[in-house]
Amino acid sequence: MPSGSSAQAAEAPPRIRVVDLTMAYGDFVIMHDLSFSVARGEIFVIMGGSGSGKSTLLRHMIGLIRPAKGDVFFDGETFWGADDEARQLMTRRFGVLYQSGALWSSMTLAENIGLPLGEFTDLTPGQIREVASLKLSLVGLGGFEDFYPSEISGGMQKRAGLARAMALDPDIFFLDEPSAGLDPVSSRLLDDLILELRDSLKCTIVAVTHELASIFTIADDSVYLDGETRTMLAQGNPRALLAESKDPKIHAFLTRGGHEGGAAPAGVPSGRPTRGTS
C-alpha cells in the first residue's frame, strides 16, 4: 500500500512533464517520442546503456539544446514555447551538477559557490561568503572554503559541485552522472547525501546514471532509454521494473553482474523503502 504522502504525490500535478520529445543532430535522430512525468519531491533517474542519450536528454530538459520536436513543461508551463526571458527565469530555479563537477580550478570552493551569487543577487561579498560556507556545510565540507578543487578528492569535488548547484536555492536539481569515477564508498556517501538533500530541501531531483547501486538506492521513479530502438521502453520504479518487466533489455540492464530473482544487486540494501513501494 502506498503511504499517504505517496498517494498525495500521485494526485498532484507533475512537476516536470516531457511531451513527445525528439532529440536529433540534423537528420540523425538520437531519441524520438519521449513522454514521461516527474512528480514533485521525487528523485527521478534517467537510465540506459552508454550512448543511449541520457545526458543529451538532460541537456534538452535544462535548456542547453532545443528539441527537434516536442516540449518540456515545468509546473504546467511550456519551456520551449516560452520566450527567452521566460526561459531564463525558469532556469533560475534549476541547480545543475555536471558530470565532471565543472569547478573552476583557479577559484577556491567558496569562490566557486559565490560566482552565481555575485552574478544574480545583490548580496555583499561578506554575505556571499556566509552563504557559500552554509552550502558547503550542508554537503559536509564545512571548513574547506579556501581549498582549491585540486586539493580535495574526487568525491569531495562532486559534493562541492552539488553545493554550487544549491547556491541560488533552486527547487529542481539536475545531476549528470553524479557518482561517475568515484569508488564504491564515495559513491554510496554521495547517494546518501542526495537522499538527505531531497528530504531536507523538499526539492525534485532528476539524475542521469547507469550505476546500478545508485539507481536502486536513490530512485523513486525512472525512465529507461534504449539506444537500439532510439526511444524509451518503460517508466517506473527500478525495483518494480526489475520484478515485473518482461522486456529482456530492461531485465538485462537491471541484472548486470548475474543478479536474478527480482532483487537489487549485491551491496544495495533491499530493505530501504522507496516512495510508492513501501
Q: What is the pLDDT of residue 170?
A: 93
Q: What is the pLDDT of residue 276?
A: 34
Cα–Cα distance between 241 and 277 in angstroms, integer? Answer: 12
Residue 242 pLDDT exceeds 60: yes
> How many residues are given for the chain?
278
Q: What is the pLDDT of residue 106?
A: 93
Residue 266 pLDDT exceeds 60: no
Q: What is the pLDDT of residue 101?
A: 66
Residues in CB range of 38: below 8 A, 6 or more apart: 14, 15, 16, 17, 44, 204, 206, 221
Q: What is the pLDDT of residue 263?
A: 44
Residue 270 pLDDT exceeds 50: no
Number of continuous H segments (helices) and E segments (strands) in the chain: 10, 10
Q: Once rounded to an integer, what is the mean pLDDT over residues 104-120?
A: 93
- Amino acid identity, position 25: Y
Residue 240 pLDDT exceeds 70: yes
Q: Once rounded to an integer, what is the mean pLDDT over residues 27-48?
A: 96
Residue 40 pLDDT exceeds 60: yes
Residue 252 pLDDT exceeds 80: yes
Predicted confidence band at 129 (pLDDT cuts at 50, 70, 90)? very high
Cα–Cα distance between 114 and 124 in angstroms, integer? Answer: 11
Q: Once rounded to an integer, what is the mean pLDDT over residues 1-30?
A: 77
pTM here is 0.85
Task: Name which of 234, 250, 227, 253 is nearest 29 in CA terms.
Answer: 227
Share of the chain above pLDDT 70, in %: 87
Cα–Cα distance between 111 and 88 in angstroms, integer? Answer: 23
Q: Once rounded to an integer, what is the mean pLDDT over residues 66-95?
A: 94
Which residue did the predictor score with more confidence, 181 or 205?
205
- Asked if residues 123 and 117 have their Cβ atoms less than 8 Å apart, the reply is yes
Predicted confidence band at 257 (pLDDT cuts at 50, 70, 90)? low
Cα–Cα distance between 12 and 84 in angstroms, integer? Answer: 28
pLDDT in tens, 188-231: 989 999 999 899 989 999 999 988 999 999 999 999 999 999 99
- Asked if residues 169 and 143 have their Cβ atoms less than 8 Å apart, the reply is no
**pLDDT-wise least confident of 26-35, 101-110, 202-211, 213-222:** 101-110
**pLDDT-wise least confident of 96-105, 156-165, 169-178, 194-203:** 96-105
Q: What is the pLDDT of residue 277?
A: 33
Q: Once rounded to an integer, what is the mean pLDDT over residues 102-110?
A: 91
Cα–Cα distance between 54 and 46 in angstroms, integer? Answer: 6
Cα–Cα distance between 175 and 82 in angstroms, integer? Answer: 24
Report residue 203 as a C-alpha cell: 526539492
Predicted confidence band at 11 (pLDDT cuts at 50, 70, 90)? low
Task: Name which of 238, 233, 259, 235 is nearest 248 in CA terms.
Answer: 233
Cα–Cα distance between 15 and 41 in angstroms, integer? Answer: 8
For residue 125, count CB atoms less than 10 angstroms from its CB and return exposed for 0-12, middle for 13-18, buried for 19 or more.
exposed
